[in-house]
Amino acid sequence: MKKIIFVISLIILLILIFNINNLRSSNFIGKENIKSSYLYLKKKTNEMKFDKCSINKGTQRQGAKIFIAGHTYGNPGDKNLSTYPKLIEHLKKDKNEYQYAFLAGDIVNKPSKINFLQVIKELNDFIENIYVAPGNHDLEDDKNNSSAQKDFLSVFKKKYQSLSVNGNKFILLDSTTNQGKISNDQINFLKKIIKNSEKVENIFVISHHVIWQNYVRNKITPNVPKSLSKDDNFKEVLSIFKEIDEKISIYFIAGDIGVSYKKTVLFCEKNKNLNFIATGMGNKKLDNYLDLLISSEGEILSIRPVFF
């Protein structure tokens, strides 16, 4: 698969180079056109790499439509207090209505109750139910007694939780209170969930930080330094899921990427029944989120990245 992706990418690159040289000789191309070609190639390459994790069984059947996104406050240089304006404009034009949104952290630049409530107000035009795995901007990297934590809990009630959607289990974790780690109370929480998961179709584990970045084969460059996960405990988290039947697919999804299009903007790696996915936005060029459709019987009909 890697060789096929490489060959296809190389062919696209050669075509682009040939066209750029032709256009240059005709004085039709400048730096912006070259940059656009580069971004187009990068987008297509990311989409091809994601094919290992994507599912497309047709979207004609009815089901729960789910939105999963990371870093939804957007670009750090912008002045918006809540949701990325570019995302709001996209959702308006797209006219998709989602039953659930799972936000993988950094939903505001500066945490406050007013800003958190504004996020809900903005997204409720497109999404019925909103759940958040908090990021460092949401909790200010602080301990349990911070005002940011209190504001977050006053609006979203929980820092970690689980819920079922059509027989699929969605688990949202707090990787911020203990920066890059999953706390002992969450470890015990996970053990209880997994112990009672015999009839689950699929499991989605959503966190802000890429808590699994040291456990994948391919390189991933998150928004934060890799040193953050130097003392991670994902090995302990992963060991809990070894009790799961291999027929059940497990999706670990993180949202702390995508601030710069020169770093990782989308990630997918599959290892047997384990899927490691990262999605994010804020770079203004290759922003993306995940679109997921689950049938009433619990089957994943579609999972795909949406660039906007």
Instruction: Write the pLDDT tens digit of every residue in 211-267.
Output: 999 999 999 999 988 777 677 899 999 999 988 988 999 999 999 999 999 999 999
- Structure tokens given for 109: 């630049």
pLDDT tens digit sequence for 169-196: 999 999 999 989 999 999 999 999 999 8
Which residue, chain included where needed, has tokens 């050669």?
14
pTM here is 0.89
Judged against a pLDDT cut of 60, whether residue 143 lies above it is answered with: no
Beta-sheet strand order (sheet of 168-172): 161-165, 168-172, 202-207, 249-254, 274-279, 266-271
Helices (H) and strands (E) in the chain, counts: 8, 12
pLDDT above 70 as % of the chain: 87
pLDDT at site 140? 81
- Structure tokens given for 217: 């084969």
What are residue 249's phi and psi, to 5 degrees? -80, 140
Q: Label the pairing between strands 55-56 and 127-132.
A: unpaired
Q: Torsion-angle region of residue 174: left (phi > 0), alpha (psi -120 to 50) or beta?
A: beta
Coil, strand or helix at 47: helix
pLDDT at site 31? 61
Confidence label for 9 from pLDDT (cuts 50, 70 and 90): low
Radius of gyration of the chain (CA): 20
Confidence label for 22 from pLDDT (cuts 50, 70 and 90): very low
DSSP run (H or E) holding 172: strand 168-172
Confidence label for 61 from pLDDT (cuts 50, 70 and 90): confident
- Using the 8-state DSSP alphabet, how is residue 175 labeled? -
Q: Torsion-angle region of residue 204: left (phi > 0), alpha (psi -120 to 50) or beta?
A: beta
Distance CA 239, CA 215 (A): 12
Distance CA 4, CA 257 (A): 26
Say which amino acid occupies 112. S
Q: Label the pairing between strands 161-165 and 127-132.
A: unpaired
- Count of other CB atoms within 10 angstroms of residue 107: 33
Average pLDDT in the chain: 89
pLDDT tens digit sequence for 77-129: 999 999 999 999 999 999 889 999 999 999 999 999 999 999 999 999 999 99
Confidence label for 25 from pLDDT (cuts 50, 70 and 90): very low
